[in-house]
Chains A and B, each alone.
Chain A
């Protein structure tokens, strides 16, 4: 029994050593920084430029991860291929993540639909008339969209720090959406809607002093 445990420990230590280079942490950190810096700006709101900048940030994060792995850490740490169990775990991760991404795509599509069609948006909004509750739900959905992926990655990749990163990402998205909530109610009343469906104008004049502060 103890022999079996030791072998498991050897395997786990070998597996975990492959990401002790910190590149995963850098990758996720840079991704969150890109989201925080570019995805949404209180003055400009969402815009194609913001999206392009955010996507460029994601691309740059991945490029740093990939180049660092290929040219810095792999030549020094060596290469290893893990057994059937890890491969099975990886396949399961891919399947589960695909399902999660599909759900996320559906949720984002619904959001875009609501932005593009004010009637549909109003119908969604009418489901929950209390704006405070609505803002809280929107922020929670945003946080729930991003955190499961990271939790799944942490679980299947045996990456304990990933759980912490997942909590941080969820908190960042939640606060980003919740603190910028004047964007949502006033958009539907705005006469000059942006030409691009995803470009939502923010309120440049008023920033809430506290999360609970409303605009209406």
Chain B
């Protein structure tokens, strides 16, 4: 690979959305991408994250506007569902495209 091409690959690697790139958050976002919404316990079971860890990651994703928290009541019990926002979906799609480009550009 020529030097300018290599530099282009490395520079696009630096542009990768770091909020999504973190493995735990990537797992959460990938899961929320394929479902409509899920609650905290389901996400914990699927990703293997602890409550505190997941809570911290969710706060960051919520601050970025990637996920939204939908609070409701089922009977008398509070029910909190989490779903990916349109911005979150777009960011994940962009991340996938970018990672694919970056990884395809890397030679053996």
Residue of B nearest to A80 (CB): B38
Among residues 32 to 81 in chain B, which have CB atoms less than 8 Å away from a CB atom of chain A? 33-46, 79, 81
Among residues 9 to 43 in chain B, which have CB atoms less than 8 Å away from a CB atom of chain A? 30-31, 33-43
Greatest chain A CB density within 10 A among B34, B40, B44, B46 is at B34
Which residues from A are CB-within-8-Å of B33? 7
Q: State the main secondary structure of chain A at its contact with B.
A: helix
A83–B35 CB distance below 8 A: yes
Would you call B6 an interface residue if the criterion is a C-beta within 8 Å of the partner chain's C-beta atoms? no
Choice from A14, A75, A81, A84 contacting B31 with Cβ under 8 Å: A14
Chain B's interface size range is 20 to 34
A79–B81 CB distance below 8 A: yes
Which residues from A are CB-within-8-Å of B38? 14, 78-81
How many chain A residues touch B (Cβ–Cβ < 8 Å)? 19
Would you call A17 an interface residue if the criterion is a C-beta within 8 Å of the partner chain's C-beta atoms? yes
Which residues from B are CB-within-8-Å of A6? 30
Q: State the main secondary structure of chain B at its contact with A.
A: helix
Choice from A8, A10, A81 contacting B36 with Cβ under 8 Å: A81
B96–A3 CB distance below 8 A: yes
Would you call A11 an interface residue if the criterion is a C-beta within 8 Å of the partner chain's C-beta atoms? yes
Residue of B nearest to A18 (CB): B42
B30–A79 CB distance below 8 A: no
Give the shortest distance, in Å, between B46 (CB) and chain A (any CB).
Answer: 6
Choice from A10, A11, A80 contacting B42 with Cβ under 8 Å: A80
B30–A78 CB distance below 8 A: no
B45–A10 CB distance below 8 A: no
Q: Which 8 A-B pairs have the closest CB atoms?
A: A78-B42, A78-B41, A11-B34, A80-B38, A81-B36, A79-B39, A80-B42, A81-B37
Q: Return 9 A-B CB contacts under 8 Å, by A number.
A: A6-B30, A7-B34, A10-B34, A17-B46, A78-B39, A78-B43, A78-B44, A79-B81, A80-B38
Query: Residues of A with Cβ closer than 8 Å to B?
Result: 3, 6-8, 10-11, 13-14, 17, 75-84
